[in-house]
A and B are shown apart, each in its own frame.
Chain A
Amino acid sequence: MMKRWYCLFAVLSLCLPLETQAETFKTEEFFLDNGLQVVVIENHKAPIIKQMLFYKAGAVDEAPGKGGIAHLLEHLMFRGTAKVRGQKLNRVLEENGAESNAFTSQDVTAYHQFLDISRLELAMFLEADRMQGLEISEKDFATERDIVFQERKQRVDNNPAARFYETLNGTLWQEHPYGRPVTGYDREITALERQDAVDFYRTYYAPNNAVLVLSGDIDKAAARRLAQKYYGHLRPSQIKSAEFAELPPFYKAKVEMSLPEVRLGRLVKLFAVSSFAIKPEEAYVLEVLAEYLAGDENAPLYQELVLRRKKALAVNAGYNGLARSYGTFSLSVVPAGLPDDAFVEAVDRAWRKALEDLDEEKLERVKRKMLADLVYLKDNPESLAQLAGYMAATGTSLDVLRNYAAGIEQVSAEEVKKAAEELWRQAPQVTGILYPEEKNNG
C-alpha cells in the first residue's frame, strides 16, 4: 500500500520471479521410484493447500527458432487429455473452488492450484493425468497460438519500456538462451506448429524432470501416500540435462535507447553472476550486497542519490540467484532529470562510496533486518511453496532453504566488498540507459 506510485517504478525490478529469502524451515523431501521429487511444507492455519508441479523445462530448453513453445505448451495443458477432455479441467477445478493457474519462465514451467484440502486428491489426479495424457488438436493449437500472440502484445507492446529490457537481456546474455524472451518473438510465435508442442511435451514432461510441492494442511505421511497413489504410475523418460553456453569471462556493454511513448528515464545495470544452484556461498553474499546497497530508504544508495544529491527518485538493487545457469545481479535507478553521463558517473560514485563505508557493524544490521523478515514466509502457504519449488526445480539444494539463516549470518563485510569488486571488474555486464521520447525535436 505504501508509496503506491512505486508500482510505476516497479518495472525496474525486472520482475524477477521471486525474492530469495527463507530460513531454517521445516521442509520434507523424498523421491518416488519414477524419479518425481516431492517437497512437503506443513502449514496448519486453515484446511487449505497449495499444490505446485514444476517441470525443469522452460524457455531455455527451446530449440533455436522455436521461441515461445514452452509457454504455448503451458497454455495447451489446459485444453484436455484422453480422460479429462476439452476444457473440463478448468470447469471441474473451478466448481471445486480452486484458484488454478500456471507460469513459464526461462528455467521452469509450473502448474499450481490453491484449494480446500478436501479437493486436493482431485487436483492431484488432474495434474498427474495431464503429465502424460495431453491431447492437442490442430484447432486448439491454432487458437492458443493466437492467444499467446495477444499475450505478447499485451505484455510487451503495451509497455513502452519493454523493448529496452529485451534489448538489455539480449546484450548481456549474447549466445546464452537467457537472452531470449520467454514469450518468443512475434515471428517465432506465428511460425510454431502443433508438432513443436508435441515434441517439447514428450521430451520434457516426465516425473523424473518434475518437482511436486504440497504446502498446507498436510503431513509427510499423507503426502507420501497420495503422491504415490496419483503420481506413482507415471513413466520416467530419458532426458539429458541441458548444456548452456558459457559467457566470455568479462565484457562490459552499453546500450542507449529512446523509445516512443517512454516518458520516464531509466538507468539499469545487469551483471551475470553465480546462482544458488552453482555456488551457494557466493549467492548468499550477493543477496546481502543487494540488501545493503538499496534494501530500504536507509540504504546508502537511497540516502546518497535520492536524499543527499537529489539526482534520483528511486533506487533498486536485486539479486536473482534461483536459476539453472547463471544468476543475475541488477541495479536500477530512476533519474530525477535525464540519465546522462554525469548521472551514470554519480551512480557509480555512490556505489563505490557505499562499499568504502561498509563495516561489520553496518553489515550486522542489514543481516538482522533480513533475518527478521523470515517469519513472514511461514504465513501464507503459497509463499514457501513457490520458493521451495523454484529452488528444487532449478537444481538448488533445499539445504539452502533449511540453512538460510546460517548462510546469511556467515557473510562478512570483507566478502561483500570483494563480491562487489568482482561484480564491477570481472562479471559480464551491461549498462542500459533509456531516454524519454523527445517530443519537440521537429
Chain B
Amino acid sequence: MGKRPAYLKNKRGSYWVVSAVLAALVWLIYGYGNDFPLQPLVENSEFKNRGFQGRVEEIAVPEKGLTFYFMQENTNPLVAVSFIFDHAGTAYDPQDKQGLAMLAAASLKDGAGKYSAEVLREEMAMRGIKLEFGADKDVFSGQMTAPKSSLPEAAGWLKLILSRPRFEEKYLVSAKDQILKVLETEKENPEKELALAFNRKIYGAHPYGRNPLGTPETVAALRRSDLQDFAGRKFGRNNLYIGIAGDLTGKEAAELAGLIFGDLSEKAEVEPLETPDIDWQQSVLNIRRGGGQNIAAFAAAGTCRQCEDFYPLYIANYLFGGAGLNSRLNQRIREKEGLTYGGYSALTLNDQANLLVAGFAATPEKFARAKELFLQEWQKAGETGFTEEELRAAKDYLTASYNLRFASIAGISDMLAYMQKYDLGLDFLQKRNGYVEGVTAEQLNRAAKQYFNNNLLQAGIGFFGKEGEDE
C-alpha cells in the first residue's frame, strides 16, 4: 500500500475524512435524486385502493348446450361478444387449401341469408354494429361490438353470418386478388420477409411453418364451396369459447348467446395438430438485402399457458426484453450505447409449440456489437438469472398495472373468451396477482436457466456477407 497519507494518520480524523469522501461518492454515484421521496405520492394519494368492481360469471344455457363467461359493465351503452373456434386456425387449412381460414375471415361478412353484402354492411354500419373476424395459427376468432339499442339486430345478423354466409362471388374474387397481390409484394417489408423465412425455418414442413395467407397456387384455387365447407366444418358449439361483456344482464347475455350460437352444430372438427419436431441445432439463417438496418430475430423453446413454470418464465421474459426501456436488453443495447432504437423479447403461445422470441434492428456498422451484447445478455440470464430486486420490480409492475386490462369493453370480452380457452378458471381475475406474487427467486432462476439456453435459433436480414446460411 505504500505510505499512508498524512490525513489518515490521526485515527479519529481519518474516520471523518473517509466518511465525507464516501458520502460524496455515494452522492455522485446515486445522485441526491434518489432521496427525493416519491413513494409518499402513492401512499398518501387521495385515490387509494379503488378496486375494480366487475365480476366474472359463468352462465350456462343448458337448452342450447352453451356455457360462457360474462361481465356486466354499465358505464357506456355498449356490448361486446368475443368468440373463438378452436382448432380452426390457419395451420388447420388442408395442405392444398392453404389460405382458407384467412380468406374466410375476410369474406364472411359478404352477405348472409337473404341479405346481400351491401345491405348487410350498410345496415350494420348505420346502427354502429362492428364485426371482425380473424385467424391465428390455432384458432378462428371473431368479435362483435354493438350499441345496446342495436343488440337484437346485431345478434340476428351474426347468427345468419355464422350459419348461412353467402360469400358473394364478386367480393370473393376481389378478396382473392388482394391476397394474391399481398403474397406477391409482402417481401417489400424486410421485417415481414424475415418473419416469414424464419417461421419456415423453425417449423419446417409442419403447418405452423406456412404463410398464413397461403400460396399463390392454393389461394387461386380456392372456391366459394371451400368457404362454405369451412364454415360448416369449423363453426360448432363443441369447439367454441364465448366471452360477453357490457351493458346487459346475465339473463340477457344468456338469451343473446343462445340466439347467436345456439343452433351451431355439435360436431365441428376438433382433431388437434401434431406437435412439430423443431431442430434447435439449425444454423443461422441470413438473408442478404439492401435497406437501412440489419434486423435480427431469435427463437427458443417457451412454455405453455397452463404449465407450472409459466409465471416464472413470464417474469424472466419481462425482465430480459419484455419491459421496454427498463429491460436488461434495452438497457444494454439502447440506453447505454445507443446501438438501436430498441430490442424486444416475448412469449409466443401456440397450442403445439410455445416459443420465447426476441429481436432488434441496427445499422450495419453497429449490428455486430448489438448482437454480441444481445448474446451476452441471453447467456447471462441463463447462467446467473435475475436478482431479488429485479423480481420485486417485475412483480410491482405486473400487479400495479392490473386494472389497465379493463380499459375497453372489447378487451374485457376477449379476455373472458381466452380465460376459457386456457382453462384459467372463473376466479382467475381474483387469483392472478397472487400467481405473480407467488413466484420465488428460485423458481424464476430455474426457469431462466432452463429456457435461456444455447438452443437459440437465429436469423437476420440485411447487409450480410457469407455469414451463416444464406438464402
Given A84-B33, A95-B400, residue A143 in contact with residue B337 (CB < 8 A): yes
Given A119-B42, A382-B407, residue A298 in contact with residue B118 (CB < 8 A): yes
Interface 9-residue window, one of B175-183, B303-311, B448-456: B175-183
How far does the Cβ of A34 sit from chain B's closest Cβ, in whole Å? 21
* Residue contact A3 to B106, C-beta cutoff 8 Å: yes
Choose among B130, B293, B335 the residue with the greatest number of A CB atoms under 10 Å from its CB: B335
How far does the Cβ of A76 sit from chain B's closest Cβ, in whole Å? 12
Verify if A1 is at the interface (C-beta below 8 Å from B).
yes
The residue in chain A whose Cβ has the minimal distance to the Cβ of B186 is A8
The prevalent SS among residues of A at the interface is: mixed
The residue in chain A whose Cβ has the minimal distance to the Cβ of B120 is A298
* Residue contact A298 to B121, C-beta cutoff 8 Å: yes
Interface residues of B in 398-420 (CB under 8 A from A): 398-404, 406-411
* Residue contact B106 to A260, C-beta cutoff 8 Å: no
> In the assembled complex, which residues on chain B have CB atoms less than 8 Å from the CB atom of A306?
174
Verify if A263 is at the interface (C-beta below 8 Å from B).
yes
In the bound assembly, the distance between CA atoms of A114 and B335 in angstroms comes to 23
Verify if B49 is at the interface (C-beta below 8 Å from A).
yes
Given A97-B404, A142-B338, residue A264 in contact with residue B326 (CB < 8 A): no
> In the assembled complex, which residues on chain A have CB atoms less than 8 Å from the CB atom of B363?
149-150, 153
* Residue contact A146 to B338, C-beta cutoff 8 Å: yes
Interface 9-residue window, one of A370-378, A416-424, A425-433: A370-378
* Residue contact B401 to A373, C-beta cutoff 8 Å: no
In the bound assembly, the distance between CA atoms of A262 and B187 in angstroms comes to 9
Given A8-B182, A118-B42, A143-B338, residue A48 in contact with residue B134 (CB < 8 A): no
How far does the Cβ of A179 sit from chain B's closest Cβ, in whole Å? 21
In the bound assembly, the distance between CA atoms of A144 and B342 in angstroms comes to 12
Choose among B73, B361, B398 the residue with the greatest number of A CB atoms under 10 Å from its CB: B361
* Residue contact A122 to B41, C-beta cutoff 8 Å: yes
How far does the Cβ of B371 sit from chain A's closest Cβ, in whole Å? 14
* Residue contact B125 to A2, C-beta cutoff 8 Å: no
Interface residues of A in 77-128 (CB under 8 A from B): 78, 80-88, 90-92, 94-99, 114-122, 125-126
Verify if A254 is at the interface (C-beta below 8 Å from B).
no
How far does the Cβ of B149 sit from chain A's closest Cβ, in whole Å? 9
Verify if B281 is at the interface (C-beta below 8 Å from A).
no
In the bound assembly, the distance between CA atoms of A139 and B380 in angstroms comes to 27
* Residue contact A121 to B45, C-beta cutoff 8 Å: yes
How far does the Cβ of B167 sit from chain A's closest Cβ, in whole Å? 14
How far does the Cβ of A384 sit from chain B's closest Cβ, in whole Å? 11
Given A94-B326, A94-B393, A261-B290, residue A117 in contact with residue B50 (CB < 8 A): yes
* Residue contact B188 to A96, C-beta cutoff 8 Å: no
How far does the Cβ of A102 sit from chain B's closest Cβ, in whole Å? 11
Partner of B188, one of A119, A161, A379: A161
Total A-B pairs, Cβ < 8 A = 270
Verify if A47 is at the interface (C-beta below 8 Å from B).
yes
The residue in chain A whose Cβ has the minimal distance to the Cβ of B364 is A153
In the bound assembly, the distance between CA atoms of A4 and B145 in angstroms comes to 19
Interface residues of A in 348-379 (CB under 8 A from B): 365, 368-369, 372-373, 375-376, 378-379
> In the assembled complex, which residues on chain B have CB atoms less than 8 Å from the CB atom of A217?
47, 50
* Residue contact A264 to B185, C-beta cutoff 8 Å: yes
Choose among A8, A86, A146, A154 the residue with the greatest number of B CB atoms under 10 Å from its CB: A154
Per-position contact with A for B354-374: 1 when CB-CB < 8 Å, else 0? 000000011100100000000
* Residue contact A88 to B33, C-beta cutoff 8 Å: yes
* Residue contact A45 to B41, C-beta cutoff 8 Å: no
> In the assembled complex, which residues on chain A have CB atoms less than 8 Å from the CB atom of B192?
8
Given A48-B403, A118-B48, residue A372 in contact with residue B126 (CB < 8 A): yes
Verify if B98 is at the interface (C-beta below 8 Å from A).
no
Per-position contact with A for B163-181: 1 when CB-CB < 8 Å, else 0? 0000000110011011101
* Residue contact B41 to A125, C-beta cutoff 8 Å: yes
Given A115-B404, A121-B41, residue A2 in contact with residue B188 (CB < 8 A): no
How far does the Cβ of A299 sit from chain B's closest Cβ, in whole Å? 10
Interface 9-residue window, one of B75-83, B221-229, B236-244: B75-83
> In the assembled complex, which residues on chain A have CB atoms less than 8 Å from the CB atom of B339?
146, 150
Per-position contact with A for B319-337: 1 when CB-CB < 8 Å, else 0? 0000111100000001111
* Residue contact B33 to A80, C-beta cutoff 8 Å: yes
Q: Which 3 A-B pairs have the closest CB atoms?
A: A157-B292, A97-B400, A146-B338
CB within 8 Å of B: which residues of A?
Answer: 1-5, 8, 43-48, 78, 80-88, 90-92, 94-99, 114-122, 125-126, 142-151, 153-154, 156-161, 217-218, 222, 260-264, 296-298, 306-307, 310, 313-314, 334, 336, 365, 368-369, 372-373, 375-376, 378-382, 436
CB within 8 Å of A: which residues of B?
Answer: 31-34, 36, 38, 41-42, 44-52, 54, 73, 75-78, 102, 105-106, 109, 117-118, 121-122, 125-128, 130-134, 141-143, 145, 147, 170-171, 174-175, 177-179, 181-182, 184-192, 213, 289-293, 295, 323-326, 334-341, 361-363, 366, 393, 396-404, 406-411
Taking A1-B133, A90-B326, A150-B363 as given, write out 6 further A-B residue pairs in contact, using a Cβ cutoff of 8 Å, ordered by the A residue number: A4-B106, A4-B134, A5-B213, A82-B33, A120-B47, A382-B407
Q: List 6 A-B contacts (CB under 8 A).
A: A1-B142, A84-B38, A86-B31, A153-B341, A372-B126, A382-B407
